[in-house]
Amino acid sequence: MQLAQDVRTRVYKFGNKTADGNSTMKNLLGGKGANLAEMSAIGIPVPPGFTITTEACTEYNELGEDILIGMIKEEVEKALQNIEEIMGANFGDEENPLLISVRSGARVSMPGMMDTVLNLGLNDTVVKGLIAKTGNERFAWDSYRRFIQMYGGVVLGMKPESKDDIDPFEEIIEHLKEKREIQLDTQFTVQDLRDLVYDFKDVVKKRTGNDFPTDPWQQLWGAIIAVFNSWNGNRAVYYRNMHGYPADWGTAVNVQAMVYGNMGDNSGTGVCFTRDAATGENIFNGEYLINAQGEDVVAGVRTPQQITKVGSMRWAELAKIEEADRAENYPSLEELMPSIYEELFRYQDMLEKHYRDMQDMEFTIQDGKLWILQTRNGKRTGAAMVKIAMDLLKDGSITDKEALLRIEPNKLDELLHPVFDPNALKRATIIAQGLPASPGAATGQIVFFADEAKKFRNTILTRIETSPEDLEGMNLAKGILTSRGGMTSHAAVVARGMGKCCISGAGALKINYKKRILTVGDKEYHEGDWISLNGSTGNIIEGKVATRIPELSGEFAEVMELADKYATMDVRTNADTPKDAKAARNFGAKGIGLARTEHMFFEVDRIKAMREMILADTVKGRKHALEELLPMQREDFEGIFEAMQGLPVTVRLLDPPLHEFVPHQLATQKELAEDMHISLSAVKNKVADLQEFNPMLGHRGCRLGNTYPEITEMQTRAIMEAALNLKAKGIESKPEIMVPLVGTVNEFLEQEKVIRKTANTVFEEYDDTVDYLVGTMMEVPRATIMAEEIAKHADFFSFGTNDLTQLVFGYSRDDASKFLPIYLEKGILKVDPFEVLDREGVGKLIKMGTCHGRRTKPELKVGICGEHGGEPISVEFCFEQGMNYVSCSPFRVPIARVAAAQAALKAPERK
């Protein structure tokens, strides 16, 4: 073994536009090392350096420090010499010193492990060389004290062990600040920084028993070994175990020359993008600062200048700066250093062509020489994402599959909802934060009651929580804000369905309905006050903020076409009205996966009949009230079926507890009593009777239909009559009747019997028939366990993952806000299971339900109609289970379509 290893290369050099390695060698060189090699190899001037392989790390773990160093010493020395030659500087030199960085780099990014030491090579004499070279005494001493601090932490183990522990270096800094009565690091004098260096070295001696190493080579070997050790550090082991990465992967070590942009007016630093990150236009752009370090660009103390002249002039126009002033004080890099600019332009073009995507690059100019520090795929807006992917497809850079996989489905959301004007937003005061329950932007005047949603032209309906009674008002309001409830609360679900902006569960809000006051901290807002909601971030903003509605681009349509080309799983929509149904069809829905019939009962003229039905004590009384509801419900279905033009429509039978339909306010109760000619106390008694301890687990779903079969009869009749009426007009309908909350085979059988019997009666009356299916919602854990039996009778399964998640976890989505945020913060949960489908738990039951159901009935149609149906990771899971469709709210349809297509594209990879 020794022999074989001895001929191995353990150190890979890069720099001077060549490299020993390349991007395919991630396993050996780590991700970072491979990328640096790749950039160098294609001719990009990265600061030179070398990578010690991951194999060397494994050898180190097996053989120990001495043997490892013995094996790589010669190679490292040669590689360092190579850096010195390229940089024209020498490691440990007192006049023209080379400083280096040492970084870890595993084959995948591991945030728990990344240890870095910068400015390595400094000591009391070398620091003088740095002063000489930069002419900046303050910078040199600051670099030195930072180096000791980092090295002390990473290499010498002087990191605080827990949050309660104090960092010994920070303690010294704080102490000095107190003594000098200053607050900021930047207020330190050169002398202060020198004092810090000496104090730091003292504390190192005290803590470790050894002097801080002054020999640069000793520093380097210490750092290399520290990086190898970090592979078996607590954080790294935890992270590896969590992700199942094997211990023998090891980490590489990257050693690289430091370059500085603050070496005078011939130096500088900047960031640039190969395309416009906001619009996606193919325009090179970026910002830079002369004689500055990377931090200075970020810190915002100095105003960065534009890289291109065009960009610079546009910037000046917006900032109202005269051209002369601009050219004098804020010249572009293109004007100031034309040859450097030209070089940079060439590199950005090379890099984009090489990586075939928009690049976000960092560069430094050191003493007139351009170094590219880093390049990566640039962050971009949803609009830019779509445009860039399609542009790259059109110019032949990428294939259509690649273009499709470049789309982050969730980012499409940005294109479908109003957004705030970015300029208006700059002056906004955020007063509180809630859950980003339904995306988009809304601005309006506060109202506290749904029936007052029309009180002003633009209103924000502001409530503790919403209930189905508030539907009409929610529809009228511009946005919805609640102080309670989670991402799947009533407000959130309904708002997403409507494509309306909503923030839910903003716990800091105290709402006093009586006084019509919203209190946040010590601020009060009254009815009629303006507020604005950012439904995509959860920010609640004081006052009016201008919004704009984005237009759907041609590229968007092209993405959708691509999605259709590759998707094999259908996307349906959750829609309860012809309007929603049409919107969803326009977004490409292939049917309705969930039409909630109860939403139809809340309209003013219907709720009365519904309440009479509920208050009736006899079957006869109920039937009478149901007869009144029949024509209205039939009309609803006619509208929806017509809107869907022959696409399948899954109609869920009445689901919510009856309690939600009865009036809870005295005035309305009185009115109802009078209308029905019964006593007020009778109404009150019934309302009290319907009250439940846990309505989620109460008398609802098919438990209603099974105790009051006449409701199921009326709804089936309405569906069948609607379909037959349309058939007479030549319009096709495909009703799929869905029984909710089934947990036992008999629960389904009883309902199926009523449905089929009623349908047959209607068919006889019309002397005509329509094809229809009868299936079940799978949302009770027991149903998934009994799937094999249920599938004997059901035509389809539709997983209702909202309720299924509630029951599998035992979490009430309306109450979970008390502990879910803490669980997420503590890492007890990685994601909110109401947002992203829980594969391990809920997913296992879905898998079981699907497999067992299809074991009985191979052709069983299976879909999902919970909120997860519009969440890309969950959509992928549904695809993996072989579902026929996912169903989501209309505005999520495009997202689900792309997610479904991507899942199909990724599928062969998994095999």
Task: List b or e across 233-264, with b for residues whose CB sees 16 or more CB atoms inside 10 angstroms.
Answer: eeebeebbeeeebeeebbbbbbbbbbbbbbbb
Q: Is 652 annotated as a binding residue?
A: yes
- Residue 819 binding its own copies, by CB under 8 A: yes
> Taking the complex as a whole, how short is the minimal distance between the CB of residue 814 and its own copies, in angstroms?
4
Residue 185's Cβ-side half-sphere holds a number of Cα atoms within 13 Å equal to: 11
From the list 96, 232, 812, 856, which residue makes contact with its own copies (rule: CB under 8 A)? 812
Among 245, 249, 566, 823, binds its own copies (CB under 8 A): 823
CB of 37 to its own copies, least distance (A): 39
Phi-psi region of 317 (alpha: psi -120 to 50; beta: other; left: phi over 0): alpha
The answer to the question of residue 239 lying near its own copies (CB under 8 A) is: no
Q: What's the min distance (Å) between Cβ of 507 and its own copies?
A: 9
Q: Is 176 in the site for its own copies (CB under 8 A)?
A: no
- The sheet with strand 285-290 has its strands ordered as 305-306, 285-290, 268-273, 359-366, 369-377
> Is there binding between residue 423 and its own copies (CB under 8 A)?
no
List 166, 426, 604, 693, residue binding its own copies (CB under 8 A): 693
Stretch that binds its own copies, among 93-101, 286-294, 441-449, 698-706 (CB under 8 A): 698-706
The window from 427-435, 553-561, 833-841, 893-901 that contacts its own copies (CB under 8 A) reads 833-841
- Residue 235 binds to its own copies (criterion: CB under 8 A): no
Report the alpha-carbon distance of residue 613 to residue 714 in Å, rounded: 12
Candidates 554, 827, 858, 908: give the one binding its own copies (CB under 8 A): 827
Q: How far is the CB of 336 from its own copies (least distance, A)?
A: 54
DSSP states of 834-894 as a string? TTS--TTTHHHHHHHHHHHHHHH-TT-EEEE-SGGGGSHHHHHHHHHTT-SEEEE-GGGHH
How many whole angstroms separate alpha carbon 715 and alpha carbon 731?
A: 20
Instruction: State in angstroms the smallest separation of the CB of 716 from its own copies.
Output: 19
* CA angle, 861 then 864 then 869, to 5°: 140
Among the residue ranges 162-170, 274-282, 702-710, 713-721, the one whose residues contact its own copies (CB under 8 A): 702-710
The 288-317 site mask, x for binding its own copies (CB under 8 A), equals: ------------------------------
The yes or no reply on residue 163 touching its own copies (CB under 8 A) is no
803 touches its own copies by CB under 8 A: yes
Out of 865, 868, 878, 888, the active site residue is 865
* 822 contributes a contact to its own copies by CB under 8 A: yes
- Exactly one of 20, 809, 836, 873 binds its own copies (CB under 8 A); which one? 809
Which amino acid does the sequence have at 910? R
| 692 interacts with its own copies by CB under 8 A | yes
Mind spelling out the 3-state secondary structure of 482-522?
Answer: ECCCCCCCHHHHHHHHHCCEEEECCCCEEEECCCCEEEECC
What gap in Å lies between CA 501 and CA 66, rounded to an integer?
63
Taking the C-alpha atoms of residue 575 and residue 581, their distance in angstroms, rounded to an integer, is 5
Rounded to a whole number of angstroms, the minimum distance from the CB of residue 706 to its own copies is: 6
Please tell me whether 805 is known to bind a ligand.
no
User: What's the start-to-end Cα distance of the chain, in Å?
Assistant: 35
- Report the nearest approach of its own copies to the CB of residue 712 (Å): 14
**Least CB distance to its own copies at residue 707 (A):** 5
Contact between 835 and its own copies by CB under 8 A: the answer reads no
Tell which one of 542, 564, 628, 815 touches its own copies (CB under 8 A). 815
Work out which of 743, 775, 849, 872 binds its own copies, going by CB under 8 A. Answer: 743
The answer to whether residue 198 forms part of the interface with its own copies (CB under 8 A) is no
Task: Give the pair of three-digit tokens for residue 577.
Answer: 């009205």
- Kindly state the DSSP code that residue 23 receives in the 8-state scheme: G
Of 510, 547, 534, 546, give the one whose Cα is nearest residue 436: 534
CB 348 within 8 A of CB 361: yes
The residue from 417, 490, 599, 659 that is catalytic is: 490
Q: Which residues contact 688 (CB under 8 A, 6 or more apart)?
A: none
CA atoms within 13 A on the CB side of 774: 22
Nearest partner of 387 among 137, 557, 155, judged by Cα: 557
3-state secondary structure of 467: coil
The residues in 749-768 that bind its own copies, with binding defined as CB under 8 A, are 750
Residue 706 contacts its own copies per CB under 8 A: yes
- The helix (run of H) or strand (run of E) holding residue 525 is strand 523-526
Residues with Cβ within 8 Å of 631's Cβ and at least 6 positions away in sequence, in order, are none
- Could you give the residue ranges of the DSSP H alpha helices within 649-744? 666-676, 680-690, 702-707, 709-728
Alpha helix (H) ranges present in 279-367?
Answer: 294-299, 309-319, 323-329, 333-336, 338-355
The nearest distance, CB 816 to its own copies, in angstroms, is 8
Neighbouring C-beta atoms of residue 550, cutoff 10 Å: 15
Q: Are 7 and 1 in contact (CB under 8 A)?
A: no
* Minimum CB distance to its own copies smaller for 319 or for 822: 822
Q: Is 865 a catalytic residue?
A: yes
User: Which range, of 67-75, 419-427, 762-770, 774-782, touches its own copies by CB under 8 A?
Assistant: 774-782
Tell me if 801 is assigned to a ligand binding site: yes
Shortest spacing between CB 525 and its own copies, in angstroms? 19
- Which stretch, 535-543, 723-731, 778-786, 868-876, contacts its own copies (CB under 8 A)? 778-786
Query: Per CB under 8 A, which of residues 836..865 are in contact with its own copies?
Result: 838, 840-842, 844-845
What is the closest distance, in whole angstroms, from the C-beta atom of residue 776 to its own copies in the complex?
Answer: 13
* 697 forms part of the interface with its own copies (CB under 8 A): yes
CB 704, min distance to its own copies, A: 8
User: How does DSSP classify residue 485?
Assistant: -
Give 482's strand partners.
463
List all residues 6 or more positions away from 324 whose beta carbon is below 8 Å from its beta carbon. none
Stretch that binds its own copies, among 42-50, 290-298, 411-419, 696-704 (CB under 8 A): 696-704
Strand, coil or helix: what is 487?
A: coil
Contact assessment for residue 512 and residue 446, using Cβ atoms and an 8 Å cutoff = no
| The one-letter amino acid at 161 | E
**Which DSSP helix (H) or strand (E) runs through 438?**
strand 435-438
Q: 779 a known binding residue?
A: yes
Q: Distance (Å, rounded) from C-alpha 284 to C-alpha 345? A: 8
Q: Any contact of residue 744 with its own copies (CB under 8 A)? A: yes
Count of residues that interact with its own copies, criterion CB under 8 A: 49
User: In this complex, which beta carbon is closest to its own copies, that of residue 186 or of residue 681?
Assistant: 681
Could you count the other beta carbons within 10 Å of the beta carbon of residue 196? 23
Check binding of 164 to its own copies (CB under 8 A): no
| Cβ-based nearer residue to its own copies, 252 or 777 | 777
Q: What is the number of other CB atoms lying within 10 angstroms of the CB of residue 213?
A: 17
Is residue 659 flagged as an active site residue?
A: no
> Which position among 699, 753, 757, 793 is part of the footprint of its own copies (CB under 8 A)?
699
Per-residue contact string for residues 61-80; x = within reach of its own copies by CB under 8 A: --------------------
- Which of 828/907 has CB closer to its own copies? 828
Strand order in the sheet with 530-534: 430-433, 539-542, 530-534, 441-447, 459-463, 479-482, 501-504, 435-438
Q: Is the dihedral of CA 843, 848, 851, 853 positive or negative?
A: negative
Q: Which of 341, 448, 796, 811 is close enough to bind its own copies by CB under 8 A? A: 811
Annotated ligand binding at 88? The verdict is no
Binder to its own copies among 117, 193, 595, 741 (CB under 8 A)? 741
Q: Which residues bind its own copies (CB under 8 A)?
A: 692-699, 701, 703, 706-707, 741, 743-744, 746-747, 750, 779-782, 785-786, 803, 806-812, 814-816, 818-819, 822-823, 826-829, 838, 840-842, 844-845
Binding residues for substrate: 596, 652, 779, 800-803
Binding residues: 596, 652, 779, 800-803
Query: Which residues carry out catalysis?
Result: 490, 865
